Structure 1
Amino acid sequence: MLQRKLAALLILLPSSLSLTVTAQQQTPSNPVAPSQLALALPATASLSTEELHKPAVKSSSAEGVIRITPAPQVEKGLPSQRPFRTAAFGIKANTLGAGAELATPLFRRFNLRSGVNFLAFAYPFGIDGVNYNANLHFKSSQSTLDWFPGGHALHISPGILYSRNTVSSTATVPAGQNFTLGDQSFINSVGDPVHGNMSLAYPRTLSPMLLLGFGNILPRNSRRLSVPMEFGVAYTGAATINVNLTGTACTNDGCTSFGGNSEVQASLTQEIHKINEDLKKVPVYPILSLGVAYHF
């Protein structure tokens, strides 16, 4: 009889201890009787090992829509903006020729930029019956300080232009054709037609310049490629032209050699003066530029 009581006590003791510990963990300030706790727990409260290890997901509604929170994006590193520690290289086409330039940042809204330009091509034209076949040879370098007043793409760029621009040309008049020098009209001879040469030069090699542009070849963000555009002027002074002609031409009074006739040379000088007076109306050289640049 004593052995049966001890066996029953050993069977009931673990269940009683488990229920008591569970009740103390849930409501330590208001203990619940083991019998009440046993009635409150449903039969399905026990979870399998697989269900306990399932990852938790967020459900936005009872319809089963599951939303997964995206991973935070890592911000790209910005290019260095320290002076002379980073640079941008660009190529461009402009009215000074084909060019290349380098730039480095100075301050938050200032860049220092320098470049070179080359241009060589032929350009035929005619003035008062005299035909010119001009050959242009432009070589220049420039340095500008780019200021971005709004901190964006618009910039104002004062600078200095160093140029060695020359224009040379041959001058011809077809045989038997009329042409004019100053106020005098001539008919070119057939046996010794008038011909010669022409040259054009700019008075300044160092010229102040002012440009207005859009685009920053040193962007203050993660962009590396840019397409800058600029327009402005360089104060080169008015170009001057000089023409030398030889040969024979005829008037109503007869035919005259250009080399030894003072009246003909006076007409030529008058023609050159008229052209130079027209050139004085344009003392600046226009600049229009479009290019592409990469920020290292």
Structure 2
Amino acid sequence: MLRPKLAVLPVFLSASLSVTITAQQQTPSNLVAPSQLALALPATASLSTEESHKSAAESYSAEGVIRIAPATQVAKKLPSQRPFRTAAFGIKANTLGAGAELATPLFRRFNLRSGVNFLAFAYPFGIDGVNYDANLHFRSSQSTLDWFPGGHAFHISPGILFSKNTVSSTATVPAGQSFTLGDQSFINSVGDPVHGNMSLAYPRNLSPLLLLGFGNILPRTSRRLSIPMEFGVAYTGAATINVNLTGTACTNQGCTSFASNSEAQASLTQEIKKINEDLKRVPVYPILSLGVAYHF
């Protein structure tokens, strides 16, 4: 009984082996290609893919990955620097008075500048008991060559000053009060009090000057407005003062008339000399200026 069963076993194994091989050979024909699988996906899957790409692009844009090129800036046109073809006009306040000036470029670091100044005001003061009510009348014009050694705002400006500066004043002494002329003391009379006039003059009208300053009223950039500041001196020579007095004044020896008494006139001359000696210590006129200018 066992032998028939064993004989059947090889036949069964061979049949099973043939079935397995046949199944392995038929399996690749049943596989689906990736492209076919993608085509077989539902429409909702492709839509979700497009939406994911769109959201990714939006996220890149939101993060600033997409950049916009800046607009091209138009270069500013620089003012002309041709001599006598362009100019700057300025106004200023200085120790010579209120002024106005014009300037034109000569070279890269040089300007030619000219201006006028006017000043008129009253200035009361007193010397040794004599009161002076001075009226100042200053008129001047100046021309300078502005040199900018570093090519920036600092400049050195030599030039010429033409001036007609005058000072006139009345001289009075209160009645009954004391005053001094030279080394002599006087007491002013009540009936004929001492009074007179005073004048001040400069020895020359044409004077060299030298200025140092900051600010170029003809900037070599696109700026049009500037605020120049300067300081310096003009060599005008020492001013001289002259005083004439009339009236009656008294001393311990009695009362004398200034118009006819030689001793009183000598005391007056000594006083004038003393004042002029003090003025000789200042042979220059100080200049300090601040202004505003516009380059056309």
Q: Give the TM-score normalised by structure 2.
A: 0.80
Q: Distance in 2 between matches of 1:71 and 1:184?
A: 86
- Residues 94-123 of structure 1 show CA distances to partners (whole Å, capped at 9, x for unaligned) of 000000000000000000000000000000
- The 5 A counterparts of 1:27-66 are 63=63, 65-66=65-66
Alignment partner, residue 68 of structure 2: 68
- Please state if 1:263 is matched with 2:259: no
- Residues 254-279 of structure 1 show CA distances to partners (whole Å, capped at 9, x for unaligned) of 00000000010000000000000000
C-alpha RMSD over aligned residues: 2.3
Q: Distance in 1 between matches of 2:148 and 2:72?
A: 33
CA separation of 1:74/1:254 partners in 2, compared to 1, >3 Å: closer, same or farther?
same
Query: What's the secondary structure of 1:165's corresponding residue?
Result: strand
Alignment partner, residue 53 of structure 2: none
- Residues 69-95 of structure 1 show CA distances to partners (whole Å, capped at 9, x for unaligned) of 101211100000000000000000000
CA separation of 1:63/1:114 partners in 2, compared to 1, >3 Å: closer, same or farther?
closer
Which consecutive unaligned segments of at least 5 residues does structure 1 have?
A: 1-38, 45-55
Alignment partner, residue 196 of structure 2: 196
**More helix per residue: 1 or 2?**
2
Query: What's the secondary structure of 1:272's corresponding residue?
Result: helix
Query: What's the secondary structure of 2:272's corresponding residue?
Result: helix
Alignment partner, residue 126 of structure 1: 126
Q: Distance in 2 between matches of 1:179 and 1:276?
A: 19
Alignment partner, residue 187 of structure 1: 187
Shift of 1:67: 2.1
Alignment partner, residue 88 of structure 1: 88
Q: Distance in 2 between matches of 1:109 and 1:88?
A: 15
Amino acid at match of 1:183: D
Shift of 1:63: 4.0
Alignment partner, residue 116 of structure 1: 116
Q: Distance in 2 between matches of 1:64 and 1:116?
A: 61
Q: Distance in 1 between matches of 2:63 and 2:130?
A: 90
Amino acid at match of 1:207: S
Amino acid at match of 2:85: R
- Residues 174-212 of structure 1 show CA distances to partners (whole Å, capped at 9, x for unaligned) of 000100000000000000000000000000100000000
Identity %: 89
Q: Distance in 1 between matches of 2:230 and 2:111?
A: 15
Amino acid at match of 1:161: L
Q: Distance in 2 between matches of 1:141 and 1:268?
A: 36
Shift of 1:64: 5.3
Shift of 1:140: 0.2
Alignment partner, residue 236 of structure 1: 236
Alignment partner, residue 159 of structure 2: 159
Q: Distance in 2 between matches of 1:238 and 1:63?
A: 78
State which structure, 1 or 2, has the greater radius of gyration over its C-alpha atoms: 2
CA separation of 1:68/1:250 partners in 2, compared to 1, >3 Å: closer, same or farther?
same
Q: Distance in 1 between matches of 2:212 and 2:252?
A: 55
Q: Give the TM-score normalised by structure 1.
A: 0.80
Shift of 1:156: 0.4
CA separation of 1:64/1:172 partners in 2, compared to 1, >3 Å: closer, same or farther?
closer
Alignment partner, residue 107 of structure 2: 107
Shift of 1:66: 3.2
Which consecutive unaligned segments of at least 5 residues does structure 2 have?
A: 1-34, 40-45, 47-56
Q: Distance in 2 between matches of 1:151 and 1:68?
A: 39
- Residues 123-162 of structure 1 show CA distances to partners (whole Å, capped at 9, x for unaligned) of 0000000000000000000000000001000000000000
